[in-house]
């Protein structure tokens, strides 16, 4: 079970908050496609996009399921160590992380949504 109220009462810098807002405005095509499938409680749980958790901005976060969903582009090939560090921190907090590639989302969004449904138990 994830930590209760994991997102509330965090110290968030103004720069980090602005970056999260920018990422919400400038989503990749794959992120937009997935967001259309999981937003507005479409899976029976609420997802937040570009959520700040412990100083990291995660693509999608479902508090109820303790799940972080990341949609990775080519940049992630260049930041493997940073991704491993952030996964370690988030996992130690009791969160589960699932990663999908941009191409995977675009190629078969229904399979991606199916995997997310399995992870949230829906």
The confidence score (pLDDT) of residue 16 equals 87
Rounded to a whole number of angstroms, the distance between the first and last alpha carbons of the chain is 16
Alpha-carbon distance 43 to 16, whole Å?
Answer: 28
Q: Which domains occur in the chain, in start order?
A: 17-116 (3.40.960.10)
pTM: 0.86
Tens-binned pLDDT, residue by residue, of the chain (122 aa):
444 556 666 778 888 889 999 999 999 999 999 999 999 999 999 999 999 998 899 999 999 999 999 998 866 555 678 878 889 999 998 999 999 999 999 999 999 999 999 999 86
Side-chain-side CA neighbours of residue 71 (13 Å): 25
Q: Which of 26, 93, 101 is closest to 53 using CA atoms?
A: 93
């Amino acid at each position: 079970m994830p930590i209760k109220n994991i997102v509330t009462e965090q110290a968030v810098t103004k720069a980090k908050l602005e970056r999260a807002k920018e990422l919400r405005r400038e989503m990749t095509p794959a992120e937009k496609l997935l967001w259309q499938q999981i937003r507005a409680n479409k899976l029976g749980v609420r997802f937040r996009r570009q959520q700040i958790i412990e100083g990291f901005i995660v693509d999608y976060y479902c508090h109820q399921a303790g799940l972080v969903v990341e949609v990775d582009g080519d940049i992630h090939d260049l930041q493997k160590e940073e991704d491993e560090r952030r996964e370690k921190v988030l996992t130690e907090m009791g969160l589960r992380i699932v990663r999908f590639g941009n191409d995977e989302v675009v190629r078969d969004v229904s399979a991606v949504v199916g995997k997310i449904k399995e992870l949230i138990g829906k």
